[in-house]
Amino acid sequence: MRPNPTSIFPATALAILCPAVLAAPGAAAPAGEFAWPLQPRPAVVRAFDKPEHDWLPGHRGVDLAGGSGQSVLAAGDGVVVFAGTVAGKPVVSVDHPGGLRTTYEPVAAAVPVGRRVIRGSPLGVLEPGHQPCSPCLHWGVRRDREYLDPLALVHHTPVRLKPLTQEPAHA
């Protein structure tokens, strides 16, 4: 079951989200607060695929095309809460205001735990080894224990207002 955006965001945040982000299942944060963790904007090699239940297989993040040794950037302002190895892979995790946590793997950390980072600051470098698309960055985001689609952090559609039409006056 996909979360209802009103259960994820406070009402004030919903008011500033653009319609495309509101409509996206698992939307994670207002557009503009986050940026791509690789520059230039990478191709998405594998999309987010949240399983119906936590115990089922899925893809709890996105894979972004990159190059070995490429700088991996903080997607948003926050604090580094983990920089180490998980299941033999180097991982960096950043906590952001509002309860979001982004994760980046495989990344050789250049920042220590406890370091405050701003959007676009280097976290480390991309290493080979993430299958099946090495070298690529596995980028994830979650709120508490719920995994969300990280593309909702960076994808937005501009709001376009259409002119009001007036009914012709009848005499």
Map out the domains of the chain as residue ranges: 33-154
Answer yes or no: CATH 2.70.70.10 is held by domain 33-154: yes
* Confidence band of 17 (pLDDT split at 50, 70, 90): very low
- Nearest CA-CA partner of 74 in 128, 35, 100, 108: 35
For residue 19, the model assigns a pLDDT of 29
What would the two tokens of residue 45 be?
């090699």
- Give the Cα separation of 18 and 148 in Å (integer): 17
> Are the CB atoms for 45 and 65 separated by under 8 Å?
yes
Separation in Å, CA 154 to CA 97, 132, 150, 151: 16, 24, 8, 5
pTM: 0.71
For residue 36, the model assigns a pLDDT of 95
For residue 2, the model assigns a pLDDT of 36
Tens digit of pLDDT for each residue in 105-149? 999 999 999 999 999 999 999 998 766 776 899 999 999 888 889
